[in-house]
Amino acid sequence: MGDLAIHKNSLAQTENVCGGTSTIGFRSSKYTPEEWNSYHNEKYFQSAKECEQTECVDDMTKSVIKRTNAISQKLQADSTKRLKERLHDILFWKQELNREINDIIQETSILINERDRLQSFLLETDLPLQIATENLNTREYRRGIDKVTDSVESELYIEMELIQNIQKLIKNAIEQADKQICQNREVKEALEINWSDKKEAEEIDTKAGNLKNCSTNKQFYAGVALCQENMSSVERWAKDANEVITRAETERLASIDLRSLISNLILDTSRDMRQQFDRVNAAFQNNLNQLTAAKTTLEENLKSVVYKISLLEHNLNELKEAIRAKDDPLMTAQTRLAFTHI
């Protein structure tokens, strides 16, 4: 502030000198040599001071430029480093998502095959159920004492009820498989959306990381440095990817468990149906043996009865012949009695 006041005072004095004002008064319009020397000395000192200030400004400007260039280069290097780190993270999550997508696709395909196998097995149970039902209906035509509630009928009812229960279990398993397939497809879609976002982010960050100061496609963008409402934090970004992967792993493990359940269901129910089929056949065979034995006994008894009937018929014929043989003696006796009464 002191230099500025001196400078203003010097300018005022210079204006007075230039205006023809003399320290002597109004006797002359010319300047004295002292005034001339004072004026030029003042200009010299003023120019020297301004040159000195200019040098200071120049030094300060160079320092500012150097410092800002260093800061700019450091910021750009840090930004490039962070872009590479983020690109590394993007590639990591993209690979994890892609791996999980392939796993869920493969698991869903296997589960679909198991579901189809269940449907085929369900159709295969219709014929044994139909046979058991027809056997029960056919046995209703038995007559008389043969219409009994025997072991065959009991085993047939057990077989029919067993098959019906198995069909219910299979239908329930098919519904669970269909539901799990839908859930697998939903999580696959979520994985693909997240993977697509990562792919787009990879392309953008790769393009941004390759951008240099000498690139021709750079330009100014107004307000680009402002935070946007839809921006998420790094932690939230990684958490979203991890959550969808965790969900996919959960659904995939559930699908694996369901496939194991389906496989065990087919194995166990097939074994149960085979065992019951064998019990029905054993009951039929036992019943056939009993019927065959009863039939054989009846046939033997029939032969004996027929033989006895033939003996009785022979005896009856002999009796008839004997009765007829007594006609002549009877007539002789009656004739004699008749003669005695005459």
For residue 96, what are the domain limits? 89-209+235-320
Q: Let me know whether 46 and 191 are in one domain.
A: no
The total of structural domains in the chain comes to 2
Domain check: are 39 and 117 in the same one? no
41 and 143: one domain? no
Residues 5 and 135 in one domain: no
Does one domain contain both 138 and 250? yes
pTM for this predicted structure: 0.70
- Give a yes or no: residue 5 inside a domain: yes
313 and 205, same structural domain?
yes
Are residues 288 and 148 part of one domain? yes
41 plus 119 within the same structural domain: no
Does one domain contain both 136 and 283? yes
Say which CATH number the domain at 181 has. Answer: 1.20.1260
The dihedral sign for the CA sequence 18, 22, 25, 26: negative
- Tell whether 38 is covered by a domain: yes
* Same domain membership, residue 158 and residue 38: no
In this structure, are 104 and 186 located in the same domain?
Answer: yes
- pLDDT at residue number 216: 75
Residue ranges of the chain with per-residue pLDDT less than 70: 1-29, 220, 223-229, 342
133 domain residue, yes or no: yes
The per-residue pLDDT for 21 is 46
178 and 297 in one domain?
yes
Tokens representing 312 are: 């009785």
The pLDDT of residue 215 is 75
End-to-end CA, the chain: 206
Tell me the CA distances in angstroms from 205 to 28, 81, 202, 212, 307, one per residue in order. Answer: 82, 11, 5, 13, 111
CA angle 233, 237, 238 (to 5 degrees): 120
pLDDT at residue 28 in the model: 55
Q: Are 280 and 152 within 8 A, CB to CB?
A: yes
